[in-house]
Amino acid sequence: MFESIQTAPPDPILGLTEAFKQDSNPDKINLSVGVYQDGNGKTPILATVKEAERRLLTEENSKSYMPIPGDPTYGRLVRELVFGKDHPILSGGRGATAHCPGGTGGLRVAGDYLHKLHPDAAIWLSDPTWANHPAVFTAAGVEVKTYAYRDPATNGLDFGAMLDSLGRIPAGDVALLHASCHNPTGIDPSVEQWSQIGEVLAERGVLPLVDFAYQGFADGIDQDAAGLRALCEKVDQLLVCSSFSKNFSLYRERTGALTLVGATAEQVGKVMSQVKVVIRANYSNPPAHGAAIVAVVLQDEALRADWEVEVAEMRDRINGMRRLFVDRLAAKGVERDFSSIIEQRGMFSFSGLDKDQVAALREKYAIYIVGSGRINVAGMTEANIERLCDAVASVL
Ligand code: LMR
């Protein structure tokens, strides 16, 4: 069976971390994978997560299977985080949540559901988007198409072109939107623009699928959900994929969710029954630990407040690094205008570095960034910024 098998290419993001680990250069810098690093270049476990785990160790009393959509309390907490506690979607019972293995797991369950129940639906992704989005939906059998997003001339949002291409999506297709901290560009629509997006999608009969992997990394937990909540005023059906990899730093615990919103409680119940069939045939039911941590933190008032402080610390450090990076490049006489990086939000920025410059950074300086020129700002520290800016100046 295996004689004819050829080696697959490395993953465009995770493959870089494998290469980084093997690099023997003591000054190497990893700005590839979207993982937060503190000022010392470490990815520590959050103190609130440690405390939740300490409690779980003594209080957890069974390792029996989870229900197919996971713990209902976790599902409610996810919906409260996404929509806000008093949102009509919650009081009207119009939302249902499945705990999935990571945000990627949520996306894949959504893809499997779409392929099975809406086989003619294509999914439209922003150009550019997270490198794994096309792979996830293609693997699920869903046709992938793209809509306009970034304006290369300004390194900002080309909202006119975006709205125009969303307005041409055929009814019955799906449009994937990034709730905040767009990956890879860091460029987000304003709340007013989200409203307009919602109007266009509602008018076209296009289902929004909102990928919410960075809640809290732009401006705050509720602030980052404002666009999505504005969208919900215009559409009555949508899918939301949440991830707690970044804001709880739970990367390896694979903690995410798929939330369904229907026009009525009855409708969403039917859709969830189908999603359960999809999950059962995939991983059966979710791994409990990460969701249990999230549930402990979010239900305890003091822990929740501490967690929001921890998220704010991560956010503030990244934003400080954005400014420092732009300032240091300017101080080194780099003429290209990088100032848009300060406006961008979340972990990533689109540097505009081309493939050859990305390759030169890696070969000459052991600096790893994604081939598209995406930089993980969270990998910058005061200790590596000078070397990084010298290297970027030299490849420019
Ligand atoms: C990223 O974009 O780097 C992260 O979302 C991690 C991943 O799985 O690619």
Domain boundary pick from 299, 323, 355: 299
Q: Kindly report the CA angle at 116 between 178 and 243, in degrees rounded to 5?
A: 30
Q: How confident is the model at residue 352 (pLDDT cuts 50, 70, 90)?
A: confident
Q: Please count the helices (runs of H) and the strands (runs of E) in the chain.
A: 15, 13
Report how far ligand 1's centroid is from the alpha carbon of 297 (Å). 24
Pure H helices in the chain: 14-22, 47-59, 72-83, 88-91, 102-117, 132-139, 159-166, 191-204, 226-232, 265-280, 289-299, 301-331, 340-343, 355-365, 385-395
Verify that 375 and 266 share a domain, yes or no. no
- Three-state SS for 8-19 is CCCCCCHHHHHH
CA-nearest residue for atom 4, ligand 1, is 34
Average pLDDT, the chain: 97
**Could you tell me which of 197, 188, 145 has the C-alpha nearest to residue 167?**
197
User: Of 158, 173, 211, 224, which one is the catalytic site residue?
Assistant: 211
Mean pLDDT along residues 300-327: 97
Mean pLDDT along residues 290-319: 98
Report how far ligand 1's centroid is from the alpha carbon of 271 (Å). 28
Known catalytic residue at 23: no
User: Of 71, 112, 130, 224, which one is the catalytic site residue?
Assistant: 130
The better pLDDT of the pair 293, 154 is held by 293
**Could you tell me which of 172, 232, 173, 175 has the C-alpha nearest to residue 198?**
232
**What are the tens digits of pLDDT across the range 215-229?**
999 999 999 999 999
pLDDT surpassing 90 at residue 77:
yes
By percentage, how much of the chain surpasses pLDDT 70? 100
Considering the domain boundaries, does residue 37 fall inside one? yes
Report how far ligand 1's centroid is from the alpha carbon of 178 (Å). 14
Verify that 277 and 319 share a domain, yes or no. no
pLDDT surpassing 90 at residue 213:
yes
Distance of CA 45 to the CA centre of its chain: 19
Enter the pTM of the model: 0.96
Known catalytic residue at 194: no
Verify that 28 and 85 share a domain, yes or no. no
Q: How confident is the model at residue 304 (pLDDT cuts 50, 70, 90)?
A: very high
Domain boundary pick from 268, 299, 330: 299
Q: What are the structure tokens assigned to 59, written together? A: 């209080």
Question: CA-based Rg of the chain, rounded to a whole angstrom?
Answer: 21
Please tell me the total count of domains within the chain: 2
Domain that holds residue 310: 14-45+303-395
Atom nearest to 243 CA in ligand 1: 5
Q: How confident is the model at residue 182 (pLDDT cuts 50, 70, 90)?
A: very high
Burial tier of 292 (Cβ tally within 10 Å: 0-12, 13-18, 19+): buried
Q: How confident is the model at residue 156 (pLDDT cuts 50, 70, 90)?
A: very high
Burial tier of 376 (Cβ tally within 10 Å: 0-12, 13-18, 19+): buried
User: Residue 177's beta-bridge partner residues?
Assistant: 210
Verify that 318 and 365 share a domain, yes or no. yes
Report how far ligand 1's centroid is from the alpha carbon of 34 (Å). 5
Q: Residue 171 CB: number of other CB atoms within 10 A? A: 10
Atom nearest to 34 CA in ligand 1: 3
**What are the tens digits of pLDDT across the range 261-272?**
999 999 999 999
Q: Which amino acid is at 115?
A: H
Known catalytic residue at 332: no
Verify that 134 and 218 share a domain, yes or no. yes
Instruction: Give ligand 1 pocket residues (Cβ under 6 A).
Output: 13, 33-34, 130, 132, 183
Q: How confident is the model at residue 355 (pLDDT cuts 50, 70, 90)?
A: very high
